[in-house]
Chain A
Amino acid sequence: MKPRVAVFKFASCDGCQLQFLNAEDELLRLAGQVDFAYFPEARSRALEGPYDIAFVEGSVTTPADARRIIEVREESRYLITIGACATAGGIQALRNWADIEQYRRAVYPSPEFISTLSTSTPISEHVRVDFEIWGCPIDKYQLLAVTRSLLSGAQPVLPAHSVCIECKRRGNVCVVVARGEPCLGPVTRTGCGALCPSFNRGCYGCFGPANAHNMEAFARLLADQGVTGDEAMRRLRGINGYVRPWRETADALAEKK
């Protein structure tokens, strides 16, 4: 019997689960390897659990989702988060520094119907996560590689070093050194193929923190480039802003101004 796979959505834009469909050439082969028991974006058939692999997209932002993720965990053998929202809280974690009541009143004409939490938190703050795939969006080849490892009964492995290594493998000229461009590459996890620096732009940090990083030294580098205070804080408090090393550095930068 083929492994039963489920794809769940929490607070997110759907871009990460769309990477399954973006697999294009590989999609039919993937469908031959697994049974998509629950994948509402791809098919209307929705089968009940238990599932062998649950891919979870999105962060937890409502009381209902906080309960639902516990159910997902209970019915899944492996729970894999896909993307910045599920893994780090996403861009919507900006609410974690704001007054949610004020947002609710400002945005919605009938705020009494809105049931929300005051925070956006990653899945790992709620349940045990077996593996995290970073990125905004995730890379489809990483998604397929992790899936393949699970099908083989092997522990998935994804590189967690800096974007710089990938950038240099591609033969790019460093945008920091040759252009003075602020770039999160030195502290960001690889996985995108050094996409932005390959187009002469600084890295935005879509894949979250690299496993080896020195945020104090990086904050000094930004300052040397004239990026200080709130501007420096905003560089880090983006898509992956709520993940700890970036959160702490951004908080310190915001206080310092």
Chain B
Amino acid sequence: MIQTMHMPKAGLEHLITILRRDGYRVLGPVARDGAVAFDELRTSSDLPIGMREAQEAGRYRLVPGIAGEIFGVVNGAGSLKPYFFAPDETLLEVRRERRGFKVSEVAPAPPPHAFLGVRACDLAALAIQDRIFLHDHFRDTHYEVRRKDAFFVAVNCTRSAPTCFCVSMKTGPEATAGFDLSLTELPDGFVARSGSPAGEAMIVKLGLSPAPGDQEAAARARIDECAAGMRRRLDTSDLPRLLYDEAENPRWREVASRCLSCANCTMVCPTCFCHTVVDQEELDGNMSRRVRQWDSCFSLDHAHIHGINFRPKISDRYRQWLTHKLASWIDQFGSSGCVGCGRCITWCPVGIDLTEEVAAIRADAGKR
């Protein structure tokens, strides 16, 4: 039985200090350029205290929240993805030699990262990325080296954005795995739990005492209330079969008439892992870097193979994305590729909402 502890609000500063002293680069939600995104935390006052955000399809605004509330902003523009699966990184260097060439792997050596204020959906997304990048003997060394020393302080959601649907995807609002420490914010402090030996040790370092029973109950009530209040839903029942059967549904063309094919949804998705690999030659032709960059199934060149493009239309690409995310992902990796964070809805410039698209296809299929 994991004991729940009480941490006063000032404990957050202490936590950041300890993590930094232990050699971690501490990242957490920071307000910049009109949104909250993970950025370096030097002190707890870097957090968006007293702020909330208003999200809807295609729109995000930071708004005043409740004074003293530290984690009022649910989620922001960026997920954990870039910190493990880097957007742009050199994998290999190839050097010309007198005879032939020499290939050397470029290994990243980052400082360990600690993430403060990670939501349940983002931890679930990271577990999905682990299945992709650390699967069996196909281990991505670049991902692995960043992943192994990371420390996670989860924050359980006590409010949801209108774009959130983690309840449908069974990933939140409470973090149940993948964290070292979890926090539930109450008006006068946090209820803290450890999720790992490192978290257990942190509780000792912080000198926390057990939470009074009423605090534990209050934290539970807040999480339950958040789950109950979540309006947006994605009906996942028999979803793979529905999408496979409806591959020719006219809705794909209809959504394609609205879709810009700009790829923002896939860029902000915490699980999308498509990338391209390019060779960047030095001008003298004696050295070349093999670079991996985030790419997207919405970019035309992604489906360009020798002599042919097999997804030339936007409807082809939207269908590919949604069907992979919600259906063939399950065949491939044993879970849905969607965690219900809602970023693809909020950060789509034209506000396309995948839950609405699936509902429309389901309704149409039901008519036949």
Task: Give the interface of A toward B (CB within 8 A).
Answer: 26, 29-30, 32-33, 144-145, 147-149, 151-152, 157, 159-162, 164-165, 168-174, 176-180, 183, 185-187, 200, 210-214, 216-218, 220-221, 224
Contact = CB atoms under 8 A, between A and B. Distances in A.
Interface string B53-83: 0000011110000000000000001100010
Contacts of B77: 173-174, 178
Given A33-B284, A178-B60, A178-B61, A160 B301 contact: yes
A144 to B, nearest CB: 6
Contact of B285 (A151, A159, A212, A224): A151
Given A148-B285, A177-B346, A220-B350, A169 B298 contact: no
A169 B281 contact: no
Contacts, number: 130
Contact of B283 (A147, A171, A213, A217): A147
A218 B260 contact: yes
A151 B281 CA distance: 11
B260 A217 contact: yes
5 nearest A-B pairs in the assembled complex, by CB-CB distance = A168-B267, A186-B262, A178-B34, A169-B87, A161-B299
Contacts of A160: 300-301
B169 interface: no
Contact of B257 (A147, A180, A216): A216
Nearest to A29: B283
Interface in B300-337: 300-301, 314, 317
Nearest to B280: A145
A217 B82 contact: no
Given A162-B299, A168-B87, A169-B294, 19 more contacts: A147-B283, A148-B281, A161-B301, A164-B267, A165-B267, A168-B263, A168-B264, A171-B37, A174-B60, A174-B77, A186-B264, A210-B262, A212-B299, A212-B317, A214-B257, A214-B261, A217-B257, A221-B349, A221-B350
Contact of B314 (A162, A171, A178, A212): A212
Interface string B327-363: 0000000000000000000111110000000000000
Contacts of B263: 161-162, 164-165, 168
Interface in B243-300: 256-264, 267-268, 278, 280-285, 293-296, 298-300
B257 A169 contact: no
B33 interface: yes
Contact of B260 (A171, A174, A177, A186): A186
Contacts of B282: 148
A26 B87 contact: no
B364 to A, nearest CB: 21
B234 to A, nearest CB: 21
Interface string B219-253: 00000000000000000000000000000000000
A29 B88 contact: no
A-side interface mostly: helix
B298 A212 contact: yes
Contacts of B58: 176-177
Interface centre among B33, B268, B294 (most CB of A within 10 A): B33
Interface centre among A30, A33, A148, A149 (most CB of B within 10 A): A148
B323 to A, nearest CB: 19
Nearest to A154: B281
B114 interface: no
B310 to A, nearest CB: 14
Nearest to A172: B33
A165 B266 CA distance: 9
B192 interface: no
B32 interface: yes
A160 B283 CA distance: 22
Given A161-B263, A173-B34, A26 B283 contact: yes
9 contacts: A162-B299, A165-B299, A168-B268, A169-B88, A178-B35, A213-B260, A214-B257, A217-B258, A221-B349
